[in-house]
C-alpha cells in the first residue's frame, strides 16, 4: 500500500515514523513543509525536513523535541564568544546538514536532490521530498509587525499576537519533482497531525499540490493535531483564537474542507457531526508503539473510504 503524507516537523514526523514501521518503508513518501526554511548566519536551514531526516534515521533528540541526540555545542559557544547571534541554536552535528546544503544549493543543485542524497546516506528507505525546490517563506503579520517564521517561533517564542499569515512565493512555486506522482500514485494520502496554519497551509498554498490532491484517486485523510481539544505542543490553539477561528476539531475539519475526505479524531474529543467521514482513536503518540498504532488506524480508516 503506497502512502503519501503531507507533513510539518515534530508532530508529523511521529506519524511518518509510525508509517515507516507499519508499511514497507519504501512505500512511504513524505512531502514536507519548507515555509519554515530560512538563511541563518549565511546557512540555509530546513527545520521540518531535518526533523524528518533525524527522526527516520534514529538520530532525533526525542526528549528535547528537536535536533540531534547526543549533540555538542562548541560552535554556538564560539559564536557567543564573538558576540554572534545566538537566538537560533545550531548544534555541531546539525551544522553539517546546513553547511553541505548551503554549498550544494550555491552550486546550483535543487533542494530535493540534496535531501534525497542525505536520506540515502542515512539509510532512510522512505522518500523525503521538500514541498518545492522554489523559495517559499512563511511570514506572520503580528502586533509587533511582520515576522519571518523563525523570528516568531524561536526568537519570540510565539508570543506576538498573529493577525494574518502569508506564504511568500508560494503562488509561483512548483511542486518538487516526484511530489505530484507520489500523490497521483498513492493508495492513501494523509495529512499529518501538524499545525494546520503553519505547517500544512504552506503545502496547500503551492498551487500544483492542492490541485493534485483534488485530482487524486486515493482518499485524503487528516489526523487531528488536537488531543482532548488542545494542541499537544506549540501554538495551534493560540493561533486559532488570534485568527478568530472556532476552537476544536470541527474548526480544523472546516479549515481542510474541500481537501480531505475524512478526519481521524482523538478519542478524548467529544463526537461531533463534522460533515465528513470521521473515525476516533487514541492519537497521542508518545512511544514508537503509539506511532505505529496511530499510523495503522489512519491507514485502516483511509482504506474504508472511497473517493
Give me the residues that bind ligand GDP (CB under 6 A), please. 8-12, 14, 48, 51, 193-195, 199, 223-225, 227, 231-234, 236, 266, 283-285
Q: Smallest distance, Å, CB 256 to ligand GDP?
A: 14
Residue number with CB closer to ligand GDP (59 or 104):
59
Residue 66 or residue 184: which is nearer to ligand GDP going by CB? 66
Q: Is the dihedral of CA 121, 123, 125, 127 positive or negative?
A: negative
Q: DSSP string of 133-146?
A: SS--EEEEEEBTEE
In the bound state with ligand GDP, the residue whose beta carbon lies nearer, of 24 and 231, is: 231
Measured between alpha carbons, how far is residue 37 from residues 49, 100, 175, 198 in Å?
9, 15, 16, 12
Nearest residue (CB) to ligand GDP, 164 versus 286 = 286
Q: Which of 232, 253, 231 is nearest to 241 (CA)?
A: 231
d(CA 241, CA 246): 7
Query: What distance in Å separates the CA atoms of residue 93 and residue 19, rounded to the nearest whole number?
Result: 27
Least Å from the CB of residue 307 to ligand GDP: 24
CB-nearer residue toward ligand GDP: 78 or 155: 155
What grid cell was written down for 199?
505547517
Closer by beta carbon to ligand GDP, 12 or else 130: 12
Smallest distance from ligand GDP to CB 194, Å:
3
Contacts of 73 by beta carbon, 8 Å cutoff, 6+ apart: 89, 91, 92
Q: Looking at beta carbons only, is 62 or 113 nearer to ligand GDP?
A: 62
Q: Report the residue closest to ligand GDP, judged by CB.
A: 11
Report how far residue 153's alpha carbon sits from residue 168's, in angstroms, rounded to the nearest whole number. Answer: 17
- Please state the closest distance from residue 83 (CB atom) to ligand GDP, in A: 29
Considering the complex, what minimum distance in angstroms separates the CB of residue 233 from ligand GDP? 5
Least Cβ distance, residue 238 to ligand GDP (angstroms): 11
CB of 283 to ligand GDP, least distance (A): 4
Find the shortest distance in angstroms from Cβ 60 to ligand GDP. Answer: 11
Looking at the Cβ atoms of 39 and 281, the one nearer to ligand GDP is 281
Amino acid at each position: 500500500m503506497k502512502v503519501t503524507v503531507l507533513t510539518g516537523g515534530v508532530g508529523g514526523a511521529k506519524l511518518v515514523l509510525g508509517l515507516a514501521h507499519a508499511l514497507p518503508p519504501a512505500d512511504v513518501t513524505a512531502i514536507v513543509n519548507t515555509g519554515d526554511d530560512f538563511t541563518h548566519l549565511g546557512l540555509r536551514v530546513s527545520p521540518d525536513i531535518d526533523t524528518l531526516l533525524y527522526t527516520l534515521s534514529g538520530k532525533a533528540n526525542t526528549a528535547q523535541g528537536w535536533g540531534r541526540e547526543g549533540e555538542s555545542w562548541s560552535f554556538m559557544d564560539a559564536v557567543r564568544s564573538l558576540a554572534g547571534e545566538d537566538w537560533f541554536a545550531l548544534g555541531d552535528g546539525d551544522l553539517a546538514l546546513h553547511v553541505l546544503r548551503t554549498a550544494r544549493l550555491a552550486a546550483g543543485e535543487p533542494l530535493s536532490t540534496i535531501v534525497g542524497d542525505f536520506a540515502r546516506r542515512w539509510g532512510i528507505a522512505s522518500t523525503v521530498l521538500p514541498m518545492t525546490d522554489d523559495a517559499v517563506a512563511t511570514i506572520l503579520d503580528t502586533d509587533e509587525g511582520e515576522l519571518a517564521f523563525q523570528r516568531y517561533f524561536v526568537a519570540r517564542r510565539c508570543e506576538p499576537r498573529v493577525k494574518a499569515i502569508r506564504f511568500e512565493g508560494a503562488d509561483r512555486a512548483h511542486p518538487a519533482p516526484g511530489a505530484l506522482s507520489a500523490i497521483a500514485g498513492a493508495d492513501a494520502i494523509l495529512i499529518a497531525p501538524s499545525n494546520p496554519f503553519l505547517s500544512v497551509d504552506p503545502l496547500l498554498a503551492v498551487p500544483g499540490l492542492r490541485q493534485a490532491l483534488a485530482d487524486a484517486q486515493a482518499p485524503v485523510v487528516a489526523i487531528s493535531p488536537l488531543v482532548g481539544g488542545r494542541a499537544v505542543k506549540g501554538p495551534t490553539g493560540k493561533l486559532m483564537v488570534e485568527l478568530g477561528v472556532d476552537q476544536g476539531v470541527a474548526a480544523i475539519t472546516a479549515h481542510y474542507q474541500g481537501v480531505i475526505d475524512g478526519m481521524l479524531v482523538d478519542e478524548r474529543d467529544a463526537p461531533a457531526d463534522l460533515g465528513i467521514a470521521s473515525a476516533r482513536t487514541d492519537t497521542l503518540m508518545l512511544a514508537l508503539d503509539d506511532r505505529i498504532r496511530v499510523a495503522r488506524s489512519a491507514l485502516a480508516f483511509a482504506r474504508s473510504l472511497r473517493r
